A = this chain, B = another copy of it.
Amino acid sequence: MAESWVIMVTAQTPINIAVIKYWGKRDETLILPINDSIRVSLDPDHLCTTTTVSVRPSFEQDRMWLNGKEISLLGGRFQSCLREIRSRARDLEDEKKGIVIKKMDWEKLHFHIASYNNFPTAAGLASSAAGLACFVFALAKLLTLQEDNGQLSAIARRGSGSACRSLYGGFVKWIMGKEENGSDSIAVQLADEKHWDDLVIVIAVVSARQKETSSTTGMQDSCKTSMLIQHRAKEVVPKRILQMEDAIEKRDFPSFARLACADSNQFHAVCLDTSPPIFYINDTSHKIISCVEKWNRSVGTPQVAYTFDAGPNAVLIARDRKIAALLLRRLLFHFPPHSNTDSNSYVIGDKSILQDVGVQDTKDIESLPPPPEIKDNIPAQKSNGDVSYFICTRPGRGPVLLPDSRALLNPETGLPK
């Protein structure tokens, strides 16, 4: 093999958010869950991870950079994914470049990997799940694995449970599986992102005031100490999964919303039933829930669903764009930006929704009228600064390959651009 060549693969995978929650493993090493779960992948234009993996003979060790900063690849999660992928590697022939890598050669070669999130990592938006999924997807393409995305999801699962669902777009179910070796614990796509493209998603990134329990530790503690988690996993979730699949298939928003809200609340209930108790949602999350519940009840049928993963950020799913604009009006009314916040950076993602809301600047936000359903409760509470910013997005596609022009690594140096 010549020493000068380099091969790169760049991929992009979506962030995903759970509508029926994964909480609790039955096998810590293989990362096998105690119940099925369902997630929605979000539009990568607004929230995604991009990863470039590259191989060249002169690389002396595996190295990785996240958002430009080198990080260790020694963690068990990366190592088990790397091991699984290397063991499935196949011959690579690049006719144009005149490169041939035999199946056995992959064991001796090292990788440089660069990963980048197009949103603040600290926002607590399950970036590690998307990152792991992208890592696995890009490496699998580089090492020319024949496995389909479902099989790749089983590899990504070994890195991060939630990662396996970022290998598809749209609505994705992670099947808990029954096999002891975890071979049937994989992700399947329930519907692609075009199936229900009316939905609009608004994420309220909530300023966390307390350090959070990691989800790995948290779910271990819940499994050991909660007296409710097994009842949830065995009696409640299986029925909800069937109902949620049905709601998604029929685009039945009221059922979808009721199930998503109830399951989010139950997940946080199990966290609270843990010793020591885990608090992911805070007073700001509570206020957002109350705002949505009050509105839904005043209309008589759900307009918006809310769901919270392992943190205080609210993920709000509106039945359509008109409702999303009404939702954002309410959110901006209750949670105006800090006086020193630029209103242009207060709603990000699909900013065009601000036109529907009728808001151009901070002054417009200040003069928003209270929503009709709270008119009796004047003076309405305003909580400046409780929300850091809003992201407006929608369900999105699964992993895609990007052209080399989008690579994060410099082909000459093998280092981040």
Contact = CB atoms under 8 A, between A and B. Distances in A.
Given A228-B231, A289-B277, A272 B283 contact: no
A270 interface: yes
Contact of A290 (B210, B236, B290): B210
A184 interface: no
Interface in A207-225: 209-210, 225
A210 B287 contact: yes
B209 A283 contact: yes
A385 to B, nearest CB: 15
Contacts of A102: none
A258 B277 CA distance: 12
Q: What DSSP secondary structure best describes chain A's contact surface?
A: helix
A382 interface: no
Greatest chain B CB density within 10 A among A262, A269, A297 is at: A269
Most buried by B among A232, A273, A297: A273
14 contacts: A209-B283, A209-B381, A210-B290, A225-B262, A228-B236, A228-B266, A228-B269, A231-B231, A265-B275, A266-B273, A276-B289, A276-B297, A279-B286, A279-B290
A386 to B, nearest CB: 11
Contacts of A235: 227, 231
Interface of A: 209-210, 225, 227-228, 231-232, 235-236, 258, 261-262, 265-266, 268-270, 272-277, 279, 282-283, 286-287, 289-290, 293, 297, 381
Residue among A265, A282, A287 with the highest chain B CB neighbour number at 10 A = A265
A329 to B, nearest CB: 21
Given A210-B286, A227-B236, A286-B279, A265 B273 contact: yes
A123 to B, nearest CB: 19
Contact of A269 (B262, B269, B289, B297): B269
A272 B275 contact: no
Contacts of A279: 286, 289-290
Contact of A282 (B274, B283, B297): B283
A248 B272 CA distance: 25
List the 6 closest A-B pairs by CB distance, nearest first: A269-B269, A269-B273, A276-B293, A269-B272, A231-B231, A283-B283
Contacts of A283: 209-210, 282-283
Contacts of A227: 232, 235-236, 262, 266
A240 to B, nearest CB: 9
A272 to B, nearest CB: 4
Contacts of A287: 210
